[in-house]
Structure 1
Amino acid sequence: MNFIMISKMLLALFSSICLVYVGSAQQTNANSTVTALFAFGDSILDTGNNNLLLTVTKVNFFPYGRDFVGGRPTGRFGNGRVFSDMISEGLGLKSLLPAFRDPFLSNNDLPTGVCFASGGSGLDQLTASIQGVIWVSDQVKDFQNYITKLNGVVGDQGKANTIISNAVYLISAGNNDIAITYFSTINRRFQYTVPGYTDLLVTWTRDLIKSLYDMGARKFAVMGTLPLGCLPGARTLIGNVMCEFFTNQAADMFNKKLSAEMDNLGASFPGAKFMYIDMYNPLIGLINNPMASGFLDGRDGCCCTPTSIIPCLDASRYVFWDIAHPTEKSYKTITPSIIEEIKQKLA
């Protein structure tokens, strides 16, 4: 199995998607005890933070954003809205979660949340450095800068603290660490076994949570990885007849360890709430039985893959948009139950 080739394909995917936010996010009127949403991690959540970085890991160009409002690329890794947008809307906050590094970010958006995630990033510093994107620890520094701006906007320390402590902190990290850094960086494979590296990823997740907890965060929704071996980029390299076993095995191992960690963190972080979001199994369900949810193709990407150099006409027929990212319809299909779980466990 050529892991380096698989990793390069996935790198191209995870590197190619992050969009420029195109206007003030629409507000919704739904009642919620959640004050804001803050997103950290990788391209599954990124809404445009990479656009001004000196990196190839960005997607502020056509055909990305083809089905977004106005049909314009914004830096989101997909054909339209991404997972963080839909969680924000589902919690009654706003339908678009703006990128913190968007130069046109409105002060009006600060109290209800922003996105700090960076496409191509991960828990391992090497993951971010090899792509020139924002490491999760640096995203926490951005959050610290955000708090300073929020205090200036609301003009009341107590009110700012209330927003911070009652917000949901959505984290997606580990996808690129496993798919890119571990299986394509020789020194990581020499340094760690798969069990050892996944243990380290869980430790780094805990460190990230502690950093945010120390700044006032109390409600954490931590996502597992996608079924990385079933992404179109990985499948294509082994003939597109099945999912690539070893990458999926590593992803599944990490997810199980991460889920167990979320169950145990309450004792270490008094007053905080934690939940694990399973991304692996819902997507496997769409991949294995796409027609049950109104899709026609669960294996190929609509766009930007060796099998679809010319973008498909209708992305809603596909589970995947490109070699590594789900379509907007896929996110819409799996998010309703996740939103309800967030409301039950964190609100």
Structure 2
Amino acid sequence: MQCPSFTMFWFYVSVFVFCCSTEAARELAGNKKFPAVIFFGDSTVDPGNNNHLLLSLAKSNFPPYGRDFIGGVATGRFSNGKIPSDFIVEKLGIKELLPAYLDPNLRPEDLLTGVSFASGGSGYDPLTSELVSSISLEDQLKMFQEYIGKLKEIAGEKRTNTILTKGLFGVVASSNDIANVYFDTHIRQLQYNIFTYTDFLVRSASTFLQELYGLGARKIAVFGAPPLGCLPSSKTFAGEIISREKCVELYNQAARLFSDKLSAEVDRLNSNLADAKLVFFDIYNPLLDLIQDPNKYGFEIVDRGCCGTGIIETSVLCNPLSFNTCTNASSYMFWDSYHPTEQTYKIMVSNIMKKEKLVKRFS
């Protein structure tokens, strides 16, 4: 027979464990504002879809990419570690990483909590994805339709509708359009000036967002263009190899012009699409703040990437043979000449979640 004191001891332990478990469960449930997170766009949020494209040069599933990722594995993420979509699902309490839709190891539960359809090298301009053989936004929507069919088989019609109407959708594009297709290759300059080209991009973005809405998405985060003139590759292609302290203002003006127009279009769509909640997120100014005041955020080098020389290497040019790759990526704002480091992405997402109040703006 147990003594009363011993019995009471285990009673209080049980109550404590139950209360703590319940509180932890409530906290986790409170973090899950969205049942799933689904992303579309370019290399910023591509966790490895391009690994499965035979002809594409826009790949990063080889060292030194992924050097600081879990297990030091190059997954196809265009960074030394995690990318924004990973940090977002982690901070929302959904899961640790947002997987690529084309990952052959996806499980049913992965589909239920969201995936990324993004493809490095894509953009709002259909020509952009053609140039590097990436998955166009149009084809990303086709994959999304296929995904909806899989959801219905796994979870049924009702739960699928809940995932679509209450899930968080993110769209990140335009950098490749403006920096690569318009400025660096000059291809679109034969048809447009920067004012008419940004109009064209916004029309394309609007069409995509309306089609996404038509497939059931209701909460959509639309991200603007970053300060493209501050990318190390932009400085290189604009002839700023020797003097790299300043950003290329022409590129930055185009990024601001596009973002202003896209923000206005998002407002217009909100007024015309029933039950829709589209939110524009400015990433230009937060990233520019990091670049202009790097010491505040712990960065030492902002004018070139960590990989190789840091002024030209990206994708296949950033590889195991890249000479002089830095040893401490966290002191660099850019990983290669085009993509930020994991540390930069971590700070940016923290800014979006706290200062920009991502969750609250979808309430």
How many Å separate the matches in 1 of 2:273 and 2:202?
16
Deviation, structure 1 residue 310? 1.9
Q: What's the counterpart of residue 43 of structure 2?
A: 43
Which residue of the partner structure matches residue 182 of structure 1?
182
Cα offset for 1:30?
A: 4.8
Match of 1:22 in 2: none
Q: Does 1:339 align with 2:353?
A: yes
* Residue pairs, 1:231-270, within 5 angstroms: 231-236=231-236, 237-238=239-240, 239=242, 240-270=244-274
- Report matched runs for 1:155-170 at 5 Å: 156-170=156-170
Counterpart of 1:192 in structure 2 is 192
Return 5+ residue gaps in structure 1 as ranges. Answer: 1-27
Whether the aligned pair in 1 keeps the contact of 2:310 and 2:336 (CA below 8 Å) is no
Work out whether residues 30 and 93 of structure 1, in 8 Å CA contact, stay in contact via their aligned partners in 2. no
Hey, what's the Cα distance between the residues in 1 that align with 2:276 and 2:195?
A: 28
User: Quick one: which of 324, 343, 348 aligns to 1:310?
Assistant: 324
Helix, strand or coil at the partner of 2:211: helix
2 CA distance for matches of 1:299 and 1:281? Answer: 17
Check 1:259–1:129 CA distance in 2 against 1; reply closer, same or farther (3 A cut): same
Cα distance, 1:304 vs structure 2: 3.7
Aligned to 2:20: none
**Cα 1:79–1:235 shift into 2, 3 Å:** same
Counterpart AA for 2:344? S
- 1:278 match: 282
TM-superposed CA distance for 1:187, in Å, is: 4.5
> For 1:303 and 1:185, how far apart are their aligned partners in 2?
23
Partner of 1:107: 108
C-alpha distance in 2 between matches for 1:312 and 1:187: 34
Specify whether residues 301 and 186 from structure 1 end up closer, same or farther in structure 2 by C-alpha distance, changes over 3 A only.
closer
The answer as to whether partners of 1:91 and 1:339 remain within 8 angstroms in 2 is: no
Match of 1:10 in 2: none
Partner residue in 2 for 1:323: 337
Establish whether residue 292 from structure 1 lines up as the match of residue 296 from structure 2: yes
Mapped to 2, the partners of 1:159 and 1:40 lie a distance apart of 21
Deviation at 1:105, TM superposition (A): 1.2
Q: Per the alignment, in what secondary structure is the counterpart of residue 50 of structure 1?
A: helix
User: How big is the shift at 1:256?
Assistant: 1.1
Larger Rg: 2
Change (3 A) 1:306 1:94: closer
* CA apart distance, 1:179: 0.7
Quick check: 1:213 aligned with 2:213? yes
Helix, strand or coil at the partner of 2:134: coil
* d(CA) in 2 for partners of 1:146, 1:235: 39
**Whole-Å separation in 1 of the counterparts to 2:295 and 2:302:** 9
Which residue of structure 1 lines up, in the alignment, with residue 68 of structure 2?
67
- Pairwise CA distance, 1:119: 0.3
Is 1:134 the equivalent of 2:150?
no
Q: Residue 29 of structure 1 contacts residue 92 of structure 1 at CA under 8 Å; is this kept in 2?
A: yes
- Aligned-partner Cα distance in 2 for 1:309–1:285: 30
Provide the residue aligned with 2:11 in structure 1: none
Distance 1:30 1:303, change over 3 A: farther
Larger proportion of helix: 2
Report the counterpart of residue 4 of structure 1 in structure 2: none
1:278 Cα deviation from its structure 2 partner: 1.3
Residue identity matched to 1:49: N
SS at match of 1:99: coil
User: Do the aligned partners of residues 159 and 334 (structure 1) sit closer, same or farther apart at CA in structure 2, a change above 3 Å counting?
Assistant: same
What is the identity percentage for the equivalent residue pairs of Structure 1 and Structure 2? 46
| 1:145 alignment partner in structure 2 | 146
CA 1:300–1:185 in structure 2 vs 1: closer, same or farther (change >3 Å)?
Answer: closer
In the alignment, the residues of structure 2 paired with residue 195 and residue 305 of structure 1 have an alpha-carbon distance, to the nearest angstrom, of 34
TM-score, scaled relative to structure 2: 0.85
Is the 1:304–1:323 contact (alpha carbons within 8 Å) kept by the matching residues of 2? Answer: no
Cα RMSD of the aligned pairs, angstroms, is 1.5
Deviation at 1:186, TM superposition (A): 4.3
What is the alpha-carbon distance in structure 2 between the residues aligned to residue 187 and residue 318 of structure 1? Answer: 32
* Residue 13 (structure 1) aligns with: none
SS of corresponding position for 1:117? coil
Could you list the runs of 5+ residues in structure 2 that have no partner in the other structure? 1-26, 312-321
**Secondary structure of the residue that 1:44 maps to in structure 2?**
helix
* Aligned length in residues: 319
Equivalent residue of 1:74, what SS?
Answer: coil
Offset of residue 275 of structure 1: 1.1
Q: Is the 8 A contact 2:179 2:234 kept in 1?
A: no
Name 2:34's counterpart in structure 1.
34
Give the TM-score normalised by structure 1. Answer: 0.89
Moved more, 230-239 or 70-79: 230-239
Distance 1:213 1:255 in 2: 20
